[in-house]
Amino acid sequence: MKFSYKILLCSLITMAAAFGIGGYFFVNDVFKASLEREIKQATDDSSIMKFAFETAALNIPSKYDMLQNSVIGEIGANLENSGQGSRRLLRLSDENREVLYASEGFVEDTALLADIEDQVRAYQIIHPDQHYYVQTGIMVNALDRALYLETMKDVTEVYAERTRGFAVYRGLMLLILVCSSVVMYFFSYWLTKPIRILTQATKKMIAGDYSYQAEQISNDEMGQLTTDFNHMAKVVEENIHKLEEELRAREDFIAAFSHELKTPLTAVIGYADMLRSRKLDDEKQFLSANYIYTEGKRLETMSLRLLDIIVTKRYQHEPQDMDVAELFCYLQDFYAEKKDIEVTVRYEPGRVRAEGNLLKSVLLNLTDNACKASDPGSTVEITGENRDGGYWFAVRDQGTGIMPEECRKITEAFYMVDKSRSRSHNGAGLGLALCVEILNLHGSSLEIESTPGEGSCFRFFIAGGKHL
């Protein structure tokens, strides 16, 4: 069942119950008030008749020293016909509760008669022959006799009023329910509009349209739900884009990897085939074997670098406080023997929170790249300074420099600006990718500044350690 129909049904059931119970109590209250009025009137009438009877008895000639049963009957008959317009129903009984006089149609039931006591007015509702009556009973003291006077007042109309009241109320309730169900239908349709909008937005998302934004038509909880839904759709869209980009990068990586693998392998297979199938002179044999060796070495370097990247990605980083002097002294010693290019080291004393070996690997990669890009006789400078609450490392060269559009790409795996130059230096375009992974582990990134023909500067920041 549709949600709007459920709202409609629930409202109608609530309304029907409320109107039904309310109406029942209302009609019944009116009925009770009318019945009480009738009962009061009946008992008042009964008192008046008692008084009338006693007065009539006093006017009986004094020759009768006692009120005869026949006289009582006569007085009763007179009282019965003395009502204005209508005949009164009454019954008179003697001291032994034996009936002396009863109007025609008076009930034969004597239950009330047995209950009448002195000074007490008794009454009951009786229901003979489809009619309702208020039956009253009172004691009458006339001369020396104690008699019982009972009356009957027809209240059928009060009961009929109640039945009519219920019928009218039922009809009215039905009419109200029909009218309100029409109004409620439009209300529930309007109330559930945000749900329909969200359903449509969900369908759009299922169909792949993540940029679809559901229209917000209210500021209540449903409006908030729509805002949250739109926010969720945006986050999902962003995540999907991220995943797509990651997938594309992975595909690019696999394509570049297979390409980088294929080139040396083709050469290795070609030269190996030549060596085994032909008799070559010593020089050609050496050249072929040397080619196989160099390409094999390149493959080895590439696989080691790849392994480094993979290991770094999965590495459980445990940074330690370390003195930067350790690093710079190592680099100074490492490049001390380099003849063609002068590598200088200049640094401020400081401490960093890092993994020493990984940081060493970054600086070695950057310095190697700087040397490869520099002409013989030029200088490569490695510097370090305390700044911004941490430590900045930088490697500067006066080499070839990099074009601005290349700067963004050189950190991608297998990307080489000058492939033949890189390959001649055993490069596979993986060094900077490894540096980026290591710096990521340290919560840092690589900043590149370069001017083609003038040189480049690669720098990065590492959080400071505790000063001892």
Closer by beta carbon to ligand ADP, 181 or else 440: 440
Burial class for 81, CB neighbours closer than 10 Å (0-12, 13-18, 19+): exposed
Kindly state whether residue 397 participates in binding ligand ADP, applying the rule CB under 6 A.
yes
Kindly state whether residue 341 participates in binding ligand ADP, applying the rule CB under 6 A.
no
Closer by beta carbon to ligand ADP, 39 or else 433: 433
Instruction: Check: CB of residue 379 under 8 Å from CB of residue 222.
Output: no
Closer by beta carbon to ligand ADP, 142 or else 394: 394
Instruction: Check: CB of residue 394 under 8 Å from CB of residue 382.
Output: yes
Beta strands 455-463 and 447-451, pairing class:
antiparallel
Closer by beta carbon to ligand ADP, 29 or else 375: 375
Closer by beta carbon to ligand ADP, 149 or else 380: 380
Kindly state whether residue 399 participates in binding ligand ADP, applying the rule CB under 6 A.
yes
| Nearest in space to 261 (alpha carbons), one of 410, 418, 430, 432 | 430
Stretch of 227-235, 273-281, 307-315, 427-435 contacting ligand ADP, by CB under 6 A: 427-435
Kindly state whether residue 422 participates in binding ligand ADP, applying the rule CB under 6 A.
yes
| Smallest separation, CB 455 to ligand ADP (Å) | 7
Site residues for ligand ADP, window 441-460 (CB under 6 A)?
456
Closer by beta carbon to ligand ADP, 94 or else 418: 418
| Smallest separation, CB 380 to ligand ADP (Å) | 9
Going 306 to 307 to 308 to 309, the CA torsion angle's sign is positive
Site residues for ligand ADP, window 249-278 (CB under 6 A)?
none
| Smallest separation, CB 351 to ligand ADP (Å) | 27
Figure out which of the listed residues 410, 438, 446, 462 binds ligand ADP, where binding follows CB under 6 A.
410
d(CA 208, CA 217): 24
Q: Which residues pair with 342 in a beta bridge?
A: 379
Figure out which of the listed residues 75, 416, 439, 462 binds ligand ADP, where binding follows CB under 6 A.
416
Stretch of 136-144, 183-191, 212-220, 413-421 contacting ligand ADP, by CB under 6 A: 413-421
Kindly state whether residue 362 participates in binding ligand ADP, applying the rule CB under 6 A.
no
Closer by beta carbon to ligand ADP, 353 or else 409: 409
- Report the b/e string of 203-215 with b at 16+ CB within 10 A: ebbeeeebebebe
The number of residues that bind ligand ADP (CB under 6 A) is: 22
Q: How far is CA 440 from CA 217, 315, 359, 366, in A?
A: 44, 11, 12, 16
Closer by beta carbon to ligand ADP, 350 or else 431: 431
Instruction: Check: CB of residue 407 under 8 Å from CB of residue 432.
Output: no
Figure out which of the listed residues 122, 142, 341, 428 binds ligand ADP, where binding follows CB under 6 A.
428
Q: 438 CB contacts (<8 Å, ≥6 apart)?
A: 312, 358, 359, 361, 362
| Smallest separation, CB 402 to ligand ADP (Å) | 5
Site string for ligand ADP, 373-392 (x = CB under 6 A): x-------------------
Closer by beta carbon to ligand ADP, 389 or else 453: 453
| Nearest in space to 76 (alpha carbons), one of 96, 41, 50 | 50
Stretch of 60-68, 183-191, 256-264, 428-436 contacting ligand ADP, by CB under 6 A: 428-436
Phi, psi of 95 (to 5 degrees): -60, -30
| Nearest in space to 384 (alpha carbons), one of 427, 439, 329 | 329
Closer by beta carbon to ligand ADP, 74 or else 412: 412
Stretch of 118-126, 151-159, 325-333, 395-403 contacting ligand ADP, by CB under 6 A: 395-403
Closer by beta carbon to ligand ADP, 7 or else 364: 364
Which residue ranges make up the site for ligand ADP (CB under 6 A)?
365, 369-370, 373, 397, 399-400, 402, 410, 415-418, 422, 427-433, 456
